[in-house]
Chains A and B, each alone.
Chain A
Amino acid sequence: EDQVTQSPEALRLQEGESSSLNCSYTVSGLRGLFWYRQDPGKGPEFLFTLYSAGEEKEKERLKATLTKKESFLHITAPKPEDSATYLCAVGNFNKFYFGSGTKLNVKP
């Protein structure tokens, strides 16, 4: 069964302090790795899809990278509005396995 593990569980940063979130996975064959942002009481919001090792995607202060066994979500110079839970998932069109998320808190 595909499994997804995210670390750390929680991360506190000062505004402007860059860091990275980790997502490691065990899959029989990667069919896509997905990053989502989730604010309290809301549904997840799609951020990125990565399909092959070496692939990178960027959106504002976020950059997602993928290796054969893990993915990183790099946050550059974060702002308080970046505070949220970041979820990673692996899967295909049929079924997606989510990690437990990293709860990010950015202090001004």
Chain B
Amino acid sequence: GAGVSQTPSNKVTEKGKYVELRCDPISGHTALYWYRQSLGQGPEFLIYFQGTGAADDSGLPNDRFFAVRPEGSVSTLKIQRTERGDSAMYLCASSPRGSNEQFFGPGTRLTVL
């Protein structure tokens, strides 16, 4: 079956611009996670959805970052007024109900010039 997909695979933007990153989880998976990974580091937790609601958004670095999952499937990570420090790989993962096993997507490489 299809795995987790993320679009776009690469995004180059200018400082101050707004960007949206999309995640399509595995069909039927109820849990969805967003992470940010810088070069040479492990993924850093951003936000966790169970269904449509954000069950834990404590990893969002500031109010420029926001994520939604309106129908409990596709999720969008939104970054306002991008800064050069936002440049990183943004990873999405999903899990089936009752499982800790996370299935990761290929990521979106964001570059802020």
Contacts and interface: CB of A to CB of B under 8 A. Distances in A.
Contact of B106 (A34, A43, A46, A98): A43
Interface residues of A, number: 24
Nearest to A94: B56
A42 B106 contact: yes
Most buried by A among B55, B102, B106: B102
Contacts of B40: 100
Interface residues of B, number: 27
B42 A49 contact: no
A45 B95 CA distance: 13
Interface string B18-62: 000000000000010101000011111100101000011011000
Nearest to A99: B42
B45 A43 contact: no
Interface of B: 4, 31, 33, 35, 40-45, 48, 50, 55-56, 58-59, 91, 93, 95, 100-107
Given A91-B100, A98-B35, 18 more contacts: A4-B42, A32-B100, A41-B107, A42-B107, A43-B107, A44-B91, A44-B102, A44-B104, A46-B101, A49-B101, A89-B43, A92-B100, A94-B48, A96-B43, A97-B45, A100-B41, A100-B42, A101-B41
Interface of A: 4, 32, 34, 36, 41-46, 49, 87, 89, 91-101
Across the A-B interface, the 10 shortest Cβ-Cβ residue pairs: A98-B42, A43-B104, A94-B56, A98-B43, A44-B104, A100-B42, A32-B100, A46-B101, A99-B42, A94-B48
